[in-house]
Structure 1
């Protein structure tokens, strides 16, 4: 890998800062258990994953579209970066950032969904962070 420019390193740090902010928000809100906005937790978990992927892509100068689509972003990752997300989970996480935030035909999320979303975000963080140093 070519050495990233100082500007690129600043941008990567910003992606990570906002990813961590989203993860803290999801983890903290989850402590409310039954009295919490589950869709908000799922949204912030999705945002954590999206921003960590974008941090990696930015660092490695891999172009990516402006999108919330986790499946699409994962296709941009090199083969050696294996994130622990099934295709079904990728699509579900994408929905948390898009359709689940608005009225319409969407199955409401519950505590189990929120816990899984946070766990997936934590796992993606564990895989990507070592590649950002």
Structure 2
């Protein structure tokens, strides 16, 4: 089956500009062209782009996705490298969650200090000022 870039975008939920970016980044191969010079994608392009979209939705970097795609093409290979990539990404997600929890705590503490009043007396703005951290 050969489909246009628009139909590929619809089938995968990836916008056209992102598809073109993935082509330039080498994540998907440059497609064949029709006689009218339109891109023409195959079923395997749909499957590959769905894989890319899912991994990107999970927060994997383009380089990590490239590595996962490379490994996925070697069916007999040990999957230890995949586990390492996923574990490293999980550790990064955990770090981001910890950073967000600390941010939330600091923001909640600032909001809790609000006693109303005027901007001149605003405890939230005061907590955000550079001198408040010094």
- Of structures 1 and 2, the one with the larger relative CO (CA 8 A, separation 6+) is 1
TM-score by length of 2: 0.26
TM-score by length of 1: 0.26
Structure (1 or 2) with the larger CA radius of gyration: 2
